[in-house]
Amino acid sequence: MIRSKNYAARYPGWYDWKWQYAHRITSAEEIASFLNMSQAEKKDVEDCLSAFRMAITPYYASLIDSADPEDPLRKVCVPRIQETYPCENDMADPLGEVSDSPVPNIVHRYPDRVLFLTTLCCSTYCRYCTRRRVVGEEDRVITEPVLKKAVAYIRSHSEIRDVLISGGDPLVMRTEKLEHIIRELRAIPHVDIIRIGTRVPVVLPMRITDELLSMLRRYQPIWINTHFAHPREITEESARACAAIVDAGFPLGNQTVLLREINDNAETLKELFLKLVHLRVRPYYLYQCDLSRGIGHFRTTVDAGIDIMHALTGNISGYAVPKFVIDAPGGGGKIPINYDYVISRDEQEVVMENYRGKTYKYPQVL
Ligand SMILES: *Cc1c(COP(=O)(O)O)cnc(C)c1O
Ligand code: SF4
């Protein structure tokens, strides 16, 4: 596999995030030539692109093993014809975000926190994106009137103490634009923590600059959550980006979507989660794949997720084990799904199984 260092020697802009963003692979021609695709494969990509757009940073593309059609990172970002197959149960808005939206770009589902969608752009589009109904439709960053309305909503709801800035990917915005949004939120006294959800450390790690981090430091407390899907995404560059974020004083979490034939086995996820903990990134959620249109081929059974959680729990550090959740279709929110360790429970005792399958009893208070 070609290492990005070689690319860096060839392209002087390689470590400049704006160069990476401007040189994203967005057309069937470019990806076909990059991966030596056949005419038929290229036609499949073209068919997909009529429904959902594609963008891949040169950095992320450089991580793909172009000799392997089954490469997991390729499946993450390069369209496959299955995207165009209609699937039973597909929904345009599987999480019911439209109905939980009191004002545009705000999703208020839980009592004390809101999701704030600030941009529809990402530097690299994940083929399995939940929000593909909107993300990538056009590269749109929140306009001033929409921002004002969203901020006014948060200001008038004193129960909101946690604002999750997401999108799209908020870190593809210019630093000044992002600062403008964060400054508005920080000016609201009841907003306690601000969170940023971003895949930039994985797909555009050069975006994590001192300039960005020193801006964010002025608005603490800020928590950042990133999105690694596979251990091969951990590179020198993405590790550096994570270290810079943590060293700058931001707790860094990670969410991963369980993806068929990409990361749906205990060995791959164990490697990923242990490597993340090594980087001081805390695995936060493992998501069962949603029901968005054209992503049915990424879905695994729920049992596959439960089995993986069972294989990890107890066997590796608790820090390396995320919560496994299903974001319930129709807007029910995230529901934790667990292996059931309780064999029986009555007024006398609780009978339970440990991670090795041995049975133990705990007597109840009588
Ligand atoms: C995931 C999510 C949140 C944040 O939930 P946590 O469990 O606190 O991380 C908030 N609002 C919406 C709509 C969400 O989907
Ligand atoms: S980074 Fe997030 S919002 Fe962007 S395409 Fe991937 S999953 Fe969707």
Residue 171 Cα to ligand 2 middle (Å): 12
pLDDT band of 8, cuts 50, 70, 90: confident
Whether 183 and 146 have beta carbons less than 8 Å apart is answered as no
Per-residue pLDDT at 356 exceeds 50: yes
What pLDDT is recorded for position 219? Answer: 98
What pLDDT is recorded for position 231? Answer: 98
Backbone angles phi, psi at 301, to 5 degrees: -75, 160
Residues 147, 217, 121, CA angle at the centre, nearest 5°?
40
What pLDDT is recorded for position 137? Answer: 64
At 144, is the secondary structure helix, strand, or coil?
helix
Task: Identify the helix (H) or strand (E) that includes residue 60.
Answer: helix 58-61
- Tokens at residue 46, please? 């073209």
Is 325 touching ligand 1 by the criterion CB < 6 Å? no
pLDDT tens-digit map of 60-82: 999 999 999 999 999 999 999 99
What pLDDT is recorded for position 90? Answer: 82
Which residues are near ligand 2 (CB < 6 Å)? 122, 125-126, 129, 131, 135, 167-169, 199, 227
Mutation choice for ligand 1 from 107, 110, 162, CB with most ligand atoms inside 8 A: 110
Residue 86 Cα to ligand 1 middle (Å): 28
- For residues 88 and 227, the model is more confident at 227
What pLDDT is recorded for position 4? Answer: 62
For tokens 């290229």, name the residue.
42
Mean pLDDT score of the chain:
95
Query: Is-catalytic flag, 129?
Result: yes
For tokens 């429904």, name the residue.
51
What pLDDT is recorded for position 283? Answer: 98
- Tokens at residue 157, please? 């709801």
The CA distance from 311 to 3, in Å, is 33
pLDDT, mean of residues 144-173: 97
Catalytic residue, candidates 109, 155, 177, 260: 109
Query: Is-catalytic flag, 356?
Result: no
What percentage of residues in the chain have a pLDDT greater than 70?
97
Residue in 218, 306, 234 with CA at minimum distance from that of residue 272 = 234
Question: CA–CA distance from 348 to each of 179, 275, 344, 354, 365 (Å)?
Answer: 57, 43, 10, 19, 8
pLDDT band of 366, cuts 50, 70, 90: confident
pLDDT, mean of residues 174-189: 98
Domain boundaries, the chain: 2-84
Query: Is-catalytic flag, 68?
Result: no
Residue 323 Cα to ligand 1 middle (Å): 13
What pLDDT is recorded for position 98? Answer: 85
- The verdict on pTM exceeding 0.85 is yes
10 Å Cβ neighbour count for 265? 14
- For residues 8 and 154, the model is more confident at 154
The ligand with the least distance to the CA atom of 139 is 2
Query: Is-catalytic flag, 113?
Result: yes
pLDDT, mean of residues 8-21: 95
Mutation choice for ligand 2 from 125, 166, 259, CB with most ligand atoms inside 8 A: 125
What pLDDT is recorded for position 1? Answer: 41
What pLDDT is recorded for position 138? Answer: 65
Bond preceding residue 318 cis, omega within 30 of 0: no
Mutation choice for ligand 2 from 131, 165, 225, CB with most ligand atoms inside 8 A: 131
pLDDT tens-digit map of 211-258: 999 999 999 999 999 999 999 999 999 999 999 999 999 999 999 999
E-strand ranges in 215-293 read 222-226, 252-257, 282-287
Is 284 touching ligand 1 by the criterion CB < 6 Å? no
The CA distance from 308 to 327, in Å, is 18
Query: Is-catalytic flag, 77?
Result: no
Residues 185, 190, 192, CA angle at the centre, nearest 5°?
75
10 Å Cβ neighbour count for 125? 25
pLDDT band of 139, cuts 50, 70, 90: low
Catalytic residue, candidates 48, 121, 126, 242: 126
pLDDT band of 87, cuts 50, 70, 90: confident
The CA distance from 215 to 330, in Å, is 37
The CA distance from 240 to 257, in Å, is 23
